[in-house]
């Protein structure tokens, strides 16, 4: 039996959900977006089977509604749903990066017989918009579901069945657990990344050359500071208590580090770095929240044509790349060519290709 899925908001995340669900032969995908050009492109990319003229029109046809809109916009839409003639057992979900606000609104929906199960696919890209959407964006990433309670377990099971076409790792947690954990591993690190860039800016007047030296480690540590400012403003405000809690803990940790360094004890300092390395090296690989990066570092000699040589080999083996940058390339010194890929499979193929054909050393940061 054909199941009708409405995806609201056809940007990077919503569009990728729609593309992934197109893999299922028994799904009919309706798309809705306020931007007419986005709808036109979505049709052209065969992302959707049908475009809804209005959100209400699409919602009343749907068996499943997935909001790929910012959390504040999603909450506004959820308040409209009880006024419409929805199907009796419709399941509503979202893709927002904070959960407590939408889950609070979900309690009101339940009073009207509408079942809501929160969702958050923890993957993304440095690109945005409908043209950045990819059917494989969520492969091997965690896709978190948050149901109100056991009463909605049937809906969570149904969503899992639908979302299996994203090839993500689906897990269930409470909204409180989700917002705490994402504050630790996503929201708080964005603030720290931004603060490091601000600290560099504060040194600019006295040491203007510092910006020129800000490559390698500094660029890697602060990469996420390049994310959409408006998006992170909203995320921070929506999860403010958890973020402030992490900042307080960070300040305590910095005081501890300061004391270790002030002691001048080499063993204690080495142990601090060593303990961090052990934990960092033990982290499981998975796509991270909102920004998935599959990078390969290639040690290359500095001679004309070396970059075209490497990219030529990749092109010959039909391996697509998404970005290139060079770290510290100068005369008589090996530089590092950083190549970004769409997924882990492409990165592994590229690593084997370069080591086999170019004989250059590669490593994953």
pLDDT digits (tens, 9 = 90+) for 92-119: 999 998 998 899 999 999 989 999 999 9
Do 87 and 116 have their domain in common? Answer: yes
What's the CATH number where 318 sits?
3.30.70.260
Do 159 and 40 have their domain in common? Answer: yes
Domain range for 207 is 178-260
Structural domain contains residue 36? yes
Structural domain contains residue 17? yes
Do 216 and 302 have their domain in common? Answer: no
Q: What is the pTM of this model?
A: 0.73
- 267 burial level (CB within 10 Å; 0-12, 13-18, 19+): exposed
Strands, sheet with 91-94, edge to edge from the N-terminal-most edge strand: 50-51, 27-32, 3-8, 64-67, 91-94, 115-121, 142-147, 169-172
What's the CATH number where 199 sits?
1.10.3660.10
Do 210 and 148 have their domain in common? Answer: no
Do 100 and 186 have their domain in common? Answer: no
Structural domain contains residue 274? no
Residue at which a domain ends, from 174, 203, 229: 174
Which residue in 248, 143, 244, 118 sits closest to 187, CA to CA?
Answer: 244
Do 222 and 157 have their domain in common? Answer: no
What pLDDT is attached to residue 266?
A: 95
User: How many domains is the chain built from?
Assistant: 3
* Whole-Å CA distances, 183 to 161, 172, 177, 179, 292: 28, 17, 10, 6, 17
Helices (H) and strands (E) in the chain, counts: 15, 12
Structural domain contains residue 38? yes
Cross-strand pairs, 192: none
What pLDDT is attached to residue 282?
A: 82
Give me the residues of the chain with pLDDT under 70, please: 125-127, 215-216, 284-293, 327-335, 365
Residue at which a domain ends, from 124, 148, 174: 174
Q: With b meaning 16 or more CB within 10 Å and e meaning fewer, what string describes 186-208? A: bbbbbbebbeeeeebeeeeeeee
Do 41 and 97 have their domain in common? Answer: yes
Do 58 and 137 have their domain in common? Answer: yes
Residue at which a domain ends, from 204, 236, 260: 260
Do 100 and 238 have their domain in common? Answer: no
Structural domain contains residue 201? yes
What pLDDT is attached to residue 125?
A: 67
Do 208 and 59 have their domain in common? Answer: no
Structural domain contains residue 267? no
What's the CATH number where 24 sits?
3.40.50.720
Structural domain contains residue 266? no
Structural domain contains residue 102? yes
Do 30 and 90 have their domain in common? Answer: yes
Do 10 and 136 have their domain in common? Answer: yes
What pLDDT is attached to residue 289?
A: 41
Q: With H, G, I as helix, E, B as strand and everything else as coil, classify residue 301.
A: coil
């Amino acid at each position: 039996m054909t199941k009708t899925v409405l995806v609201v908001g056809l940007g990077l995340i919503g569009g990728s959900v729609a593309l992934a669900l197109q893999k299922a032969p028994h799904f009919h995908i309706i798309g809705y977006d306020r931007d007419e050009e986005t709808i036109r492109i979505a049709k052209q990319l065969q992302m959707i089977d049908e475009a809804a003229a209005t959100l209400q029109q699409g919602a009343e046809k749907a068996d499943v509604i997935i909001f790929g809109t910012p959390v504040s916009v999603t909450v506004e839409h959820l308040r409209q749903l009880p006024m419409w003639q929805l199907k009796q057992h419709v399941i509503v979900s979202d893709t927002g990066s904070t959960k407590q606000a939408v889950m609070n609104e979900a309690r009101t929906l339940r009073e009207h017989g509408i079942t809501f199960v929160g969702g958050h696919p923890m993957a993304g890209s440095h690109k945005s918009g409908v043209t950045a959407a990819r059917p494989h964006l969520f492969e091997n990433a965690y896709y978190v579901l948050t149901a109100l309670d056991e009463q909605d377990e049937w809906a969570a099971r149904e969503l899992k069945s639908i979302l299996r076409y994203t090839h993500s790792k689906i897990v269930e947690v409470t909204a409180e657990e989700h917002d705490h954990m994402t504050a630790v591993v996503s929201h708080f690190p964005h603030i720290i990344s931004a603060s490091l860039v601000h600290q560099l800016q504060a040194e600019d007047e006295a040491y203007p050359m510092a910006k020129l030296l800000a490559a390698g480690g500094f660029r890697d540590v602060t990469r996420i500071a390049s994310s959409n400012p408006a998006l992170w403003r909203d995320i921070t405000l929506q999860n403010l208590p958890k973020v402030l809690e992490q900042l307080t803990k960070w300040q305590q940790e910095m005081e501890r580090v300061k004391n270790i360094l002030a002691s001048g004890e080499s063993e204690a300092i080495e142990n601090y770095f060593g303990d961090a390395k052990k934990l960092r090296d033990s982290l499981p690989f998975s796509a991270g929240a909102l920004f998935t990066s599959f990078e390969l570092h290639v040690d290359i000699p500095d001679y004309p044509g070396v970059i075209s040589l490497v990219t030529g080999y990749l092109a010959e083996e039909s391996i697509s790349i998404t970005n290139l940058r060079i770290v510290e390339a100068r005369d008589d010194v090996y530089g590092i060519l950083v190549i970004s890929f769409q997924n882990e499979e492409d990165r592994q193929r590229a690593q084997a290709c370069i080591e086999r054909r170019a004989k250059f050393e590669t490593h994953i940061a």
